[in-house]
Structures are given as C-alpha cells and as structure tokens.
Amino acid sequence: MAHSCEMAPIWVFGYGSLMWNPGFEYTEKQIARLNGYHRSFCMRSIHHRGTVEKPGLVLALDATKDAYCDGLAYRVAGENADQVQDYLRERELISSAYLETSQQINFRDGRQVQAVTYVIDEDHEQYCGGLPLQEQAEIMATAIGGRGPNAEYLHNTATHLHELGISDADLDWLSQRVNALV
C-alpha cells in the first residue's frame, strides 16, 4: 500500500475579524508582526458590514513603507490546510478586493515563518485608503451588512487587540468616536 505524502502545516495571519472569529481549526496561535503594512479601514464593505447602497468599512492591510501590523498567526495542521484555504478564500475573496499573498511574519520569540495573508488590492474599486478618521467613524456608526453592524466589527476588533496587549491608537480613537456617534 502506497503512503500518501503528508502535507506541511500552514500559517495564517489575522489582523481583523480573523483574530476574534477565525472560523477554522488550528493547532497553535501566536502574536506576530508583519512589516511593511498597517491595519487600516481602507476597504468599503458591501457584503459583510455594509451594502452596495450604504457601504461600511472593514480592515485591510495597506502597504506602507516603515509600517508594521501586529496580529495573530494560526498554525493549521497539514491535513486541514486545503480545507482551511478553501474556507478562507470563500470568506476573504468574496469581492476580490483582497489579494491572497504569502508574507514573512515574525513571532515575539524571534521565529520567522511564511503565512497566508490577505492584503488590500489598491486598484480595486472598494479600496478607500486615506479617509480621515472622522469620516471613517461616521460611516461605521450607521453601516449594517450581512454579518451585522459595522460598529460591532470595530468594537470586537478593538477589544480583542486590548486583550492581546496590542496597541492601535487609530482603532481606539475610532471605537470611542463611534460610541459617541451611536
């Protein structure tokens, strides 16, 4: 009987809803840093947190020189890798605004691995990088999509970052401002 090749495990980097709602099985999770990108509400959401008529905003990784993003890395067992990648593609590539990439991430213990990482396609019509924070807050205070209110997505992400000890001044400001507007 022939032995099948065992698939290698994969790593997945999460910086937004994947941190508090990964939706897949993993064998390890670690706080990790991705260099060259920052977490930003730079994608109009017409499915999950808004509609075509009234888009919300969701997080994406926006390429920025000298920036970094701290998030969570999940190790997925090799036998689950294909299934998890299919799930992530269905979830993250719903409107093709994200690009599936492989990025080097760094763990706090010094290890470095390659991870499946979804980054914004700056040429996509849903990309809206550089919106002033006040405008972002006004959009998120009222937008609602298939997965619920935009404000809920913002607050869940901000809360989870605090629980992990990751600071993000823009998200903290947005969370407080949206609370005031709601």
Verdict on whether the full-model pTM lies above 0.95: no
Token digits of residue 103: 């990025």
pLDDT digits (tens, 9 = 90+) for 7-42: 899 999 999 989 989 999 999 999 999 999 999 999
Q: For the chain, which domains are there?
A: 10-130 (3.10.490.10)
Residue 6 falls in the annotated catalytic set: no
Instruction: Determine which one of 25, 90, 92, 125 is catalytic.
Output: 92
Do 144 and 50 meet the contact criterion of CB atoms below 8 Å apart?
yes
Sequential DSSP letters for 81-128: HHHHHHHHHHHH-TTS-EEEEEEEEEETTS-EEEEEEEEE-TTSTTB-
CA quadruple 161, 163, 164, 168: dihedral sign: positive
Report H helices in the chain: 17-20, 81-92, 133-142, 150-164, 169-181
Angle at 46 between CA 147 and CA 15, to 5 degrees: 65
What is the mean pLDDT, run by run of 10 residues, along the chain of 182 residues?
69 94 96 96 93 95 95 97 96 87 96 97 94 97 95 95 94 96 92
